[in-house]
Structure 1
Amino acid sequence: MNRIGFIFSSLLFVLAIASSMLFVVDQRQFGVVFALGQIKEVITEPGLNFKLPPPFQNVSYIDKRLLTLDSTDNEPVLTAEKQRVVIDWYVRWRISEPTEYIRNVGTTEAAGASQLNRVVRNAFQEEVNKRTVKELLSAKREEVMQDVKKEVLSQVRGAKPWGVDVIDVRITRVDYVDAITESVYRRMEAERKRVANELRSTGFAEGEKIRADADRQREVTVANAYRDAQKFKGEGDAEAARLYADAFGRDPQFAQFYRSLDAYKSSFSKKSDVMVLDPSSSEFFKAMRGGVAVTAAPKK
């Protein structure tokens, strides 16, 4: 029984030693083998690999993928016209030479990102100091990014190369500091209010002009209509008078009788009307007394 336990324990020990000598490198990583603190080997291809068990050899992994570094510093930068602006940016970079990276930067991606952030920030500050706000917001923005990229590459490829490649540098935002931004917004708001008030005044003046013109046209139309109505009325009255004159001229006695009837009708328009006259001597009732003989008009 003791012999079986010994064999089993030995087998477990051998398996533990074997597992410590085997390691897998992922396709997204570099495998760096250290021997007593010194870089022994850098494995760039994915797969199963062998090394000596600890403490003779150890392995660490470094990301080989394209990494993104975003700006985290909101410290304002002065432009050529001494305007304080805040710039947001990002950098796309990768570790290309693990040996140089570990020797000159560190063993983690965070170490490289920290140092790269400092270099990019200084490069942006230097380039922004040479340009105006208008240039940063115009077509020269691309030129600024290219110049920053060149400056960063010259730093990371200097006397002690970092073993990294800077693929791209991009500006995501250029803005004034909060105090200036608030002032700019207030000026913009005041300008918009001025334009709005000017438009309202112009619209009110145009409205008054349109209303005055409409009133004038209404008065002219009403006057013309009244003139035409009076003209037509006068023509009608003239025509009626002519017809009356023509008809009454043919039979004067009938005309007198007809006018007397109109006078009676006007005098006694209501049942309560009272008229005090002497029928025997008044000419008003002459037609009723038969003083006017109504004769027919002669036939022609």
Structure 2
Amino acid sequence: MVSLKRIYTIVGLSVLVLILGVIGFTSWYTVDESEQAIILTFGKADEGITEPGLHFKMPWPIQDVEKLPKTTYSLQFGYNQKDGEITDVPKDTKMITGDENIVLADMVVQWQITDPSKFLFNSEDPEQILYNATSASLRSIIGSSKIDDALTSGKAEIEAEVRELLTDLLKKYDIGVSVTAVKLQDVELPNDEVRKAFTNVTDARETRNTKVNEANKYRNQKLNEAKGEKEALISRANGDKAARIEIARGDVATFNALYNEYVKNPDITRKRLVLETLDQVLPNTEIYIMKDDGNTMKYLPIRPVGSQAQVPPVETEGSGNQ
């Protein structure tokens, strides 16, 4: 029969082995390169461990360790993807733009855990807080944007504004996560009728822009032609101006020369000027010499030599032989 002392000894040794085993197995831990850890001392979070390798701590239940991955998580806002199937969540994606149009918008948010202790203990459900903050940020930015920007070329700007606003919200909530990327997946109109109406509006806007561009092109063409004509007129006017100035200078020089000669010989210069003027004013005029003696008037036409036979004198009625 086994004695009571032997039983106590076996039980004591078993408890001791168990305690030593717990101490041995819970006094060390390893951190992988893709992990980060946090030490809990009687449930209170201590400093975080990010360096990979073998680490030691106080045995359980004095200290415990919580490991969290360093991986990048994806938050799917507005839809769920499971086993290759995508399920929309219309109540989350439907929102109103700044110009009072309804759109359906969903997005993906890439995020990481940057502070394990805050992620574990500052909130009950940090992922739900992140989801709600994403919803608030996206609705706020879409609500201040125009539908054209949301559907066409303004997506990149909307993504940047959503990321900035979401980052500010997460700093206020202080849940130990950070956003690395924000990507709009789809921004759509709610139904076919609205899509058709928006397409018609877009086509009309493109037609208007085309017409405006053509009008601007025509205007620029006419402006260039008008500028060319203006430059040509100015050039011709400047040429006429220069020619008239030179002619005037020549006339002044000629007048000054004539005046100097006139001062020297007034009578001769005066007669010469009269004759030259008559020659210029009446270059092809026939000259007649006439003499009136009362009853009979005779005239003799002076023609260029050789141009016409000499015309005999003409006598008027009542005249005799002269």
Q: Residues 137 and 37 (structure 1 numbering): CA distance in 2 closer, same or farther, change over 3 Å? A: same
In the alignment, structure 1 residue 33 sits paired with structure 2 residue 42: no
Alignment match, 1:288: none
2:90 to 74, 80, 90: 74
1:187 Cα deviation (Å)? 9.8
CA distance in 1, matches of 2:16, 2:117: 38
Name the amino acid aligned to 1:57.
Q
Matches within 5 A, 1:191-230: none
Matches within 5 A, 1:78-93: 78-93=96-111
Give the number of equivalent residue pairs: 182
Q: Deviations over 1:204-249 (max 9, x none)?
A: xxxxxxxxxxxxxxxxxxxxxxxxxxxxxxxxxxxxxxxxxxxxxx
1:157 to 159, 171, 184: 171
Q: What SS does the corresponding residue of 1:52 show, helix, strand or coil?
A: coil
In the alignment, structure 1 residue 19 sits paired with structure 2 residue 25: yes
1:173 Cα deviation (Å)? 0.2
Q: Residues 145 and 21 (structure 1 numbering): CA distance in 2 closer, same or farther, change over 3 Å? A: same
1:78 Cα deviation (Å)? 0.5
Unaligned runs of 5+ in 1: 189-300
Alignment match, 1:287: none
Alignment match, 2:236: none
In the alignment, structure 1 residue 181 sits paired with structure 2 residue 195: no
Name the amino acid aligned to 1:172.
Q
Q: Residues 182 and 63 (structure 1 numbering): CA distance in 2 closer, same or farther, change over 3 Å? A: farther
Question: Structure 1 vs Structure 2: percent identity of aligned residues?
Answer: 22
Alignment match, 2:136: 122
Q: Residues 138 and 16 (structure 1 numbering): CA distance in 2 closer, same or farther, change over 3 Å? A: same
CA distance in 1, matches of 2:10, 2:43: 40
Higher relative contact order, structure no. (Cα contacts within 8 Å, ≥ 6 residues apart): 1
CA distance in 1, matches of 2:24, 2:198: 74
Q: Deviations over 1:128-171 (max 9, x none)?
A: 1112221112221100000010101111123x533322111110
Alpha carbons 2:28, 2:57 under 8 Å: kept: yes
2:56 to 42, 50, 64: 50
Q: Residues 114 and 187 (structure 1 numbering): CA distance in 2 closer, same or farther, change over 3 Å? A: closer
CA distance in 1, matches of 2:143, 2:72: 30
Alpha carbons 1:25, 1:31 under 8 Å: kept: yes
Alignment match, 1:146: 160
Alpha carbons 1:74, 1:87 under 8 Å: kept: no
User: What TM-score, normalized by structure 1, do the two folds share?
Assistant: 0.53
> More deviation in 89-98 or 58-67?
58-67
Unaligned runs of 5+ in 2: 79-88, 200-322
> How much is the aligned-residue C-alpha RMSD, in angstroms?
2.9
Q: Deviations over 1:67-101 (max 9, x none)?
A: 11111342210112322111110011111122333
CA distance in 2, matches of 1:141, 1:167: 17
Alignment match, 1:94: 112
Alpha carbons 2:22, 2:59 under 8 Å: kept: no
2:149 to 126, 135, 147: 135
CA distance in 1, matches of 2:136, 2:157: 17
